[in-house]
Structure 1
Amino acid sequence: MTDRSVSRGRSNRRRTRWAAACAGLALSLTGALQGQATAAVPDVPTPPRPPGRILDVPVAVAEGLLDPEASPAGANDWSCRPTRKHPRPVVLLHGSAANAVANWSMLSPWLKQQGYCVFAPNYGGTPGSPFQATGPIAKSAREVAGYVDRVLKATGARQVDLVGHSQGGGPTPRWYLRFEGGTNPAHPKRNKVRSLIALAPSNHGGSVSGIGTLTTKLGLNPTMSALVGQAWSDQMPGSEMNQKLDRDGDTQPGVRYTVIATRFDEFATPYTNNFLTPGPGATVRNILIQDICPQDISEHLSLAYDTNAAQLVRNALDPAHAQPVRCGLSLPVLGG
């Protein structure tokens, strides 16, 4: 057996032990959280999973490490055709150093059950790596542009809705909308994107609870980017990328923007950097999830596995049929 094979075997065994440990922790917490479900509300669609079922969070993360090329359940059915009720496919864009299956194993199957055509690419990283969306934002946006064109061609739809987390809800789709053909400012009805719905987006950079501020002041961002990818430097407040992206305003005409932020964000900090200011021809709804569900203590990572946030996503996708949010407890890292 070669040294490389031995190393790969040891790495796989470490990943397996890590996944088992996460599953054990989640199992112990699941029992403690049972019974947190709110009382049933007539005629209101149920959240994507019963509150308290948190095992799927570490399982999804483990799958994203062990099988990063997998699609989340419900996603990437290229034979799917949009319906009159849901005429636009939904494209899910993961966050930095994540991948589609790790980020979207809750929301993707739930949206599919609602009748949407759902697509979830990996982008911005080396194929086969579990750590995607680490490259330059501009390059990631070009990859998203090509993927959206493929979705439109396959489905026959005129527009898509984008739902993104972290980088995938902030600078990458906004760069695509502004610089890579996602919108047509002169003729907004020809936009390829109708809505951008963002969970904890790093719209105006994130200081990572002050770590990024320190690396910026010390001139260490190039070193950090050499270690973890150019997306680190690009997403620092005041970066060259952010300055170019924000120079002519936050929004594009004809796009509906929804931002869902959490007070407990530890990456896209301060959390107010998530929010957008509407420009001509665009609408923006900035939501702090604790204003909707005060008991929600999700932070940056768990917002993608937060059933309260998922209901807000559903309402933003179909505002004409928006429903009251059935608030439940959602925990840091684990969601709920």
Structure 2
Amino acid sequence: MLPWKRVFRPLAALLLTAAVAAVPAATAHASDAPSRGWNDWSCKPSVTHPRPVVLVHGTLGNSVDNWLSLAPYLKDRGYCVYSLDYGQLPGVPLFYGLGPIDKSAEQLSAFVDKVLSATGTDRADLVGHSQGGMMPRYYLKFLGGSAKVNALVGLAPDNHGTDLDGLTHLLPYFPGAEDLIKATTPGLADQIARSAFLTKLNAGGDTVPGVHYTVIATKYDEVATPWRDQYLSGSDVHNVLLQDLCPLDLSEHVAIGLFDRIAFHEVANALDPAHATTTTCASAFS
């Protein structure tokens, strides 16, 4: 029998993610972002920050709730910030990121084109949490995104899939369970380690030329596990463990994307490496 925490922790994290997504049930979608201070289609990037930033939410997240802290953090630092909803299944309101990930990448492609047209720029930077840090790699690799994206920053991205703290290893013992997941929530099935989607995504190398990659992981992650599988290999990759920046940081999978200002400081460094400053525990107060 698995220890209780191996079952409870990943399920608790998924429930917390769902709860966060459901809080503003009637209004959690991209059209509400302008009232929160981002998705301002009149914004023009500055000389200091010449590229717009597109935020890509995670599984069960949405374009507003996932970014209630990071979007204002970047906006206050002079960036034009945008976010989208993607991966909604027919008949499933409120929760996003559940559709086939290759189709979600197509939605991201169209959204980036819209952002570039509105801002008059030729490249954007992408920042994603969980699936939102991994899914854009499909866009970069197979949909021409590498010509339109300068950098991809992933917060706890499941780049090589997840075993959900070992729970996915139990699927063969439940006949039909994996097929049911594929049929009902293909976006979840695509994220299981060694899925057909991930095999295609990672074949021939993790990265594509011309894009700067940053992965920010936490050793307390209980969803994108093992956490080391979040790391990428490539010539232009910066993999960083949150606890190497601040040993006191206890953020897990959900917290690193929702409100961890130490992680946000490292995001800002990745977006503007020429003016990067050392990320420490004190960055939580900057």
TM-score normalised per structure 2? 0.86
2-structure distance, mates of 1:124, 1:62: 16
Q: Which residue of 2 aligns with 1:49?
A: none
2-structure distance, mates of 1:216, 1:252: 34
1:253 aligns with 2:217: no
Shift of 1:216: 5.1
Q: Which residue of 2 aligns with 1:135?
A: 99
1-structure distance, mates of 2:189, 2:89: 18
Shift of 1:108: 0.3
Opposite residue 119 of structure 2, the aligned amino acid is: T
- Tell me the secondary structure at the aligned position of residue 91 of structure 1: strand
2-structure distance, mates of 1:87, 1:134: 32
Q: Which residue of 1 aligns with 2:131?
A: 167
2-structure distance, mates of 1:64, 1:213: 35
Do the aligned partners of 1:60 and 1:101 also contact (CA within 8 Å) in 2? no
Q: Which residue of 2 aligns with 1:192?
A: 148
Q: Matches of residues 32-51 of structure 1 in structure 2 within 5 Å?
A: none
Opposite residue 67 of structure 1, the aligned amino acid is: T
1:110 aligns with 2:73: yes
Do the aligned partners of 1:98 and 1:131 also contact (CA within 8 Å) in 2? yes
Quote the sequence identity (%): 46
Do the aligned partners of 1:82 and 1:89 also contact (CA within 8 Å) in 2? yes
Shift of 1:210: 1.3
1-structure distance, mates of 2:172, 2:121: 43
- Tell me the secondary structure at the aligned position of residue 209 of structure 1: helix
Shift of 1:66: 3.9
Q: Which residue of 1 aligns with 2:28?
A: 68
Tell me the number of residue pairs that the alignment of Structure 1 and Structure 2 aligns: 263
- Tell me the secondary structure at the aligned position of residue 120 of structure 1: strand
Equivalent of 2:49 in 61, 86, 92: 86
TM-score normalised per structure 1? 0.74
2-structure distance, mates of 1:59, 1:137: 22
Shift of 1:80: 0.5
1-structure distance, mates of 2:141, 2:108: 13
* Inter-CA distance 319–143: structure 2 relative to 1 (3 Å threshold): same
Q: Which residue of 1 aligns with 2:12?
A: none
Between structure 1 and structure 2, the one with the greater Rg is 1
Do the aligned partners of 1:64 and 1:130 also contact (CA within 8 Å) in 2? no
Q: Which residue of 1 aligns with 2:86?
A: 123
Q: CA RMSD in A?
A: 2.2
Do the aligned partners of 2:33 and 2:63 also contact (CA within 8 Å) in 1? yes
Q: Which residue of 1 aligns with 2:248?
A: 295
Please list every run of 5 or more consecutive structure 1 residues that lacks an aligned counterpart in the other structure.
1-21, 23-56, 184-190, 331-336
2-structure distance, mates of 1:126, 1:218: 25
- Tell me the secondary structure at the aligned position of residue 133 of structure 1: coil
Q: Which residue of 2 aligns with 1:320?
A: 274
* Inter-CA distance 87–205: structure 2 relative to 1 (3 Å threshold): same
Do the aligned partners of 1:297 and 1:329 also contact (CA within 8 Å) in 2? no
2-structure distance, mates of 1:248, 1:179: 12
Shift of 1:208: 1.1
1-structure distance, mates of 2:75, 2:198: 34
1-structure distance, mates of 2:89, 2:199: 27
1-structure distance, mates of 2:171, 2:18: 30
Q: Which residue of 1 aligns with 2:179?
A: 222
* Inter-CA distance 266–252: structure 2 relative to 1 (3 Å threshold): same
